[in-house]
Amino acid sequence: MTSTLLAGIIAFLVLLFVLSEIASAVLPLIIVLAFVPSQNREELATVLAALDSSRRLRLWPALRFAVTMRRQERKVAGEARDPERNPYAHLNEHFARMPEDAPLNQPYGCADAEKPVSPPV
């Protein structure tokens, strides 16, 4: 009776270990296929491969890093679409070093602020 119970406990622990290993190997694949857009899968695979050189994927650190990178990409893309953003901000230091009498253009508004009106026909 006790040897059968001991064998059952050992078999249960081995089965539990095997199932957890399978789940940890398959879960990232399921997450990538279900939640990552198809055009971003290759980039995510590259990031995950760079993060983990071992055979077994370290799930949570890799996914946290991937989420952080995606948020940064979306933030940069959102800033690039902002019509009030100055695309030439990197030149501010250059113009700050210019002498006071150097001719500078006055600031201008957004091109989309005023739409031209056609004359009456």
| Cα gap 6→107, rounded to integer Å | 82
Q: Supply the pTM of this predicted model.
A: 0.34
pLDDT confidence of 54, banded at 50, 70, 90? low
Summarize pLDDT for 93-105 with one digit per residue, the tens.
Answer: 777 787 777 666 6
Annotate 42-89 with DSSP letters as a single string: HHHHHHHHHH--SSS--HHHHHHHHHHHHHHHHHHHHHHT-TTS-TTG
The per-residue pLDDT for 57 is 53
- Kindly report the average pLDDT of the chain as a whole number: 75
pLDDT confidence of 13, banded at 50, 70, 90? very high
Token digits of residue 48: 């995950």
Say which DSSP state 113 is in: S
